[in-house]
Every structure is written in C-alpha cells, then in structure tokens.
C-alpha cells in the first residue's frame, strides 16, 4: 500500500516535525498518524510525511505559514496512494507554483473524485490533465526560480521538464528525483565527510 498524505520539504534548524506550524496539525499521540520525519536528518533541508491532520492545498494557509516561520522556500506534495501527486511550492516573497506528477494517473483519479486532485472548478478532467501537461515548461521555470531562492542553481530547464514528464510506481520518488536535480542536499546524495 502506498503513501496517501503530504510530503513537506522545508529547511529547519531543528527537527522539521517540531516546527509549530506542523505540530499544530494533529494532537499529540493521534492514533491516525501525524507528522513524521521522512529523511534521517534533524537540521537543514528535511522532509516530513503528514498522514493525519488537515493541510489546506487550496488556500495554502499552512504552506504560507511554514515559509514565514522558517524564512525559506518550502513545498508540499499531495500524494495519492503513491500513484500520483500534486506538488505546490512557495518561496519567501514569491508566488506559489503547482505541478502534477504521474499526470495520466491523476486524470484517472479525477474521473472518480475531481476534488481529490484539486480540480474544483467543474473543468473536464481530460482537459485538466491536458492543461497540466502543457504547463510543464512553465512549472519547470517556476521550480528553477524556487530552487534559486533556496540557494541551489545549476539544473537545466530541459532536465526538470523531463523529470516532471517522467513516470514512476511511486510518485514521491519523482519529486525526490526533481529535488536532487535541483541541487537540494537529500541525505543519501550528500558526499561522505573526509577524514
């Protein structure tokens, strides 16, 4: 069974799951799950999984607050059973961006529950998918600007577009591949310390 929930990426001087914005999402000891670390680091760039609690993907209230509290870019990937995802990001002083991953599968999900894939305006689901596919070059440019705001440069527009169009059994893996390409220091990509 895959992940259904959010994968939030942000920078923190301590464990990300202890940042007030995330702590407030679920009561301590919630039996449904909550906010847990995804990467084995407790400072710097981190990811957490949110499997219980409410994260607003429409008004972006929590993402805006997380960026304000950390003073750094952040993103949230809304993942549906690991089959597909919608990633939203924001940098301080910037505007939000959004991109779909495994878009063909997003469209399949949308046939049964359009709101689950954030299609809330009565748009035809196939048209919604076509718009997401056509939006990839713009989304890649947004991602490059977002990464630059985090201090990471060097990825090419073409490389990011190709990753956004790629498919995977686990949609969250595509997002992590995009982060690596952008230069984010995921724990398993960091060079070992020299002795």
Predicted pLDDT of residue 189 = 66
Give the number of other CB atoms < 10 A from CB of residue 179.
Answer: 23
C-beta separation of 7 from 175 below 8 A: yes
Give the C-alpha separation, 74 to 54, whole Å.
17
Q: Which is more confidently placed, 2 or 176?
A: 176
pLDDT digits (tens, 9 = 90+) for 111-153: 888 888 887 777 888 998 999 999 999 999 999 999 999 999 9
Q: What average pLDDT does the structure give for the chain?
A: 88
* Token pair recorded at residue 74: 């952040």
Considering only 35-39, 47-51, 165-169, 184-188, which range has the smallest mean pLDDT? Answer: 184-188
Cα angle 133-137-143, degrees, rounded to a multiple of 5: 110
Q: How confident is the model at residue 31 (pLDDT cuts 50, 70, 90)?
A: low
* Token pair recorded at residue 99: 């991109």
Name the helix (H) or strand (E) containing 168: none
Cα angle 57-125-89, degrees, rounded to a multiple of 5: 25
pLDDT digits (tens, 9 = 90+) for 55-84: 888 889 999 999 999 999 999 999 999 999
pLDDT value at 165 more than 70:
yes
Predicted pLDDT of residue 188 = 65
Q: What is the largest CA-CA distance in the chain?
A: 59
pTM, full prediction = 0.90
Give the C-alpha separation, 24 to 61, whole Å.
13
Per cent of the chain over pLDDT 90 is 63
pLDDT value at 27 more than 70:
no
């Amino acid at each position: 069974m895959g992940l259904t929930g959010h994968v939030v990426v942000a920078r923190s001087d301590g464990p990300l799951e202890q940042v007030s914005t995330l702590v407030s999402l679920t009561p301590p000891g919630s039996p449904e799950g909550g906010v847990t670390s995804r990467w084995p680091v407790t400072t710097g760039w981190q990811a957490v999984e949110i499997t219980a609690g409410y994260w607003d993907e429409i008004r972006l209230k929590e993402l805006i607050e997380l960026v304000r509290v950390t003073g750094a870019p952040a993103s949230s990937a809304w993942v549906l059973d690991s089959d597909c995802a919608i990633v939203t990001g924001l940098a301080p002083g910037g505007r939000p961006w959004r991109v779909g991953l495994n878009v063909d599968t997003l469209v399949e999900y949308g046939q049964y529950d359009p709101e689950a894939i954030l299609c809330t305006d009565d748009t035809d689901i196939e048209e919604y998918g076509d718009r997401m596919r056509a939006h990839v070059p713009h989304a890649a440019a947004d991602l490059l600007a977002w990464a630059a705001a985090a201090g990471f440069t060097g990825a090419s527009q073409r490389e990011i577009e190709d990753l956004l169009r790629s498919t995977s059994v686990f949609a969250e893996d595509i997002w992590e591949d995009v982060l690596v390409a952008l230069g984010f220091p995921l724990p398993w990509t960091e060079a070992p310390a020299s002795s």
